[in-house]
Amino acid sequence: ENVEILTDILGLEDHYGDMDFKVAGSSQGITAIQMDLKIAGISKNILSDILKIKTLVNIVKLLSH
């Protein structure tokens, strides 16, 4: 299984990708998650990897200011 996790995607990546994952939050942490799949599902490991991405942490910090 070859998985690449992209952040800050453009239209082309969104069109050809298998998943679109959005995160919202505040200084208290993540408050909402939305995931749109074009495939039957994803593994728990992939979901865990997505949530660990430092970029997501930085986005939550930016939203809280």
Compute the distance between CA of residue 59 and CA of residue 48 in angstroms, rounded to an integer: 17
6 lies in some domain: no
pLDDT digits (tens, 9 = 90+) for 8-27: 788 888 888 898 888 877 77
Q: Take residue 21 and report the two structure tokens written for it.
A: 């994952």
Compute the distance between CA of residue 46 and CA of residue 44 in angstroms, rounded to an integer: 6
* pTM of the complete model beyond 0.85: no
Q: Among all chains, which residue has been given the structure tokens 């749109």?
A: 36
Compute the distance between CA of residue 64 and CA of residue 27 in angstroms, rounded to an integer: 5
User: If you write DSSP's letter for every residue of 18-59 in order, what string do you get?
Assistant: SEEEEEEEETTEEEEEEEEESSS---HHHHHHHHH-HHHHHH
5 lies in some domain: no
Quick check: 28 pLDDT over 70? yes
15 lies in some domain: yes
The number of domains in the chain is: 1
Domain limits for position 37? 11-63
3 lies in some domain: no
